Amino acid sequence: MPFLYGDLERAISPERARRYLTSTVDPRSGVTDPARAVMLYEHNTRLSAAAWSTICDVEVVLRNVIARAVSDLHATHRPAGGLRWYDEPTWFATGRWFTTQTLTSIAVAMKRAGDPGPRAAARPSAGRVIAELSLGFWRYLLVSRYEHSLWNPGVRSQFPALSGLSGSDSRKRVHERVEALNYLRNRVAHHEPVYETFSIPGPRQLDAVTTLHESIELVEWADPDAGSWIRERSTYAEVAASI
């Protein structure tokens, strides 16, 4: 039996279904197309799955790039002691480093990873904690407050393709890409429509095809081989063109 618009309303709620129905309004007659609304929802599910694959690839590479830079910077300032970059809240909590909110995020990540801290006899790898930190956490480390404490002395060197730009311009370029990806990631995670443009603070109008393309380019700025690998596997543009 066909899955009708009424079935969609019952399954996902009338309010959520209405967003897809509204997208089918004929601009001349004002008439909606319930059958097409169901098709749009199904198409959006396929788009989200394709987007998620690329988002995951980019996020993992990006967080490792930034974590490596922060870890190296920490080792430069604290060469002895065997502590990890997230083990020293006093140092990172100064005006130059992490805010209370950021430190809270680290503490939550350590708890989720089962990391009892530096005094423990056995600890999980740092990678376990890094994996528990959200994309929003890494995005926040790219804002202007960290330009002179994290970006210029550490993270900037991880993006050699931007070496011709100033520290400020290169940081802004990377932050813009990560911010856009973070918003798209949240839309996918919350099952929002991704077939249409969406707004983020700025204000900026984004679309998923451009955002994913630019996020892969972001990886290429740091690691061309990884970027090419992700681009070859990304299917979003193909799925988007299939409707």
pLDDT at residue number 227: 98
In eight-state DSSP terms, residue 198 is E
Cβ density class 170-180: b for 16+ within 10 Å, e for less: bbbbbbebbbb
Flag whether 27 is in a domain: no
Flag whether 50 is in a domain: yes
Flag whether 168 is in a domain: yes
pLDDT at residue number 164: 97
Flag whether 116 is in a domain: yes
Give, for all 243 residues of the chain, the pLDDT tens digit: 899 999 999 999 999 999 999 999 999 999 999 999 999 999 999 999 999 999 999 999 999 999 999 999 888 887 777 788 888 766 655 556 678 888 899 999 999 999 998 888 899 999 999 999 999 999 999 999 899 889 999 999 999 999 999 999 999 999 999 999 999 999 999 999 999 999 988 889 999 999 999 999 999 999 999 999 999 999 999 999 987
Flag whether 133 is in a domain: yes
Output the six-digit token pair for 150: 């994290």
CB-CB contact of 70 with 150 (8 Å): yes
Strand 204-206 versus strand 198-200 pairing type: antiparallel
pLDDT at residue number 162: 98
Output the six-digit token pair for 101: 């909110």
Flag whether 26 is in a domain: no
Flag whether 207 is in a domain: yes
Dist. CA 161–CA 148, nearest whole Å:
20
pLDDT at residue number 93: 52
pLDDT at residue number 65: 97
Indicate the number of domains in the chain.
1
CB-CB contact of 215 with 177 (8 Å): yes
Flag whether 113 is in a domain: yes
Print the domain residue range for 107: 5-21+33-240
pLDDT at residue number 144: 93
Separation in Å, CA 161 to CA 69, 174, 222, 224: 16, 11, 7, 9
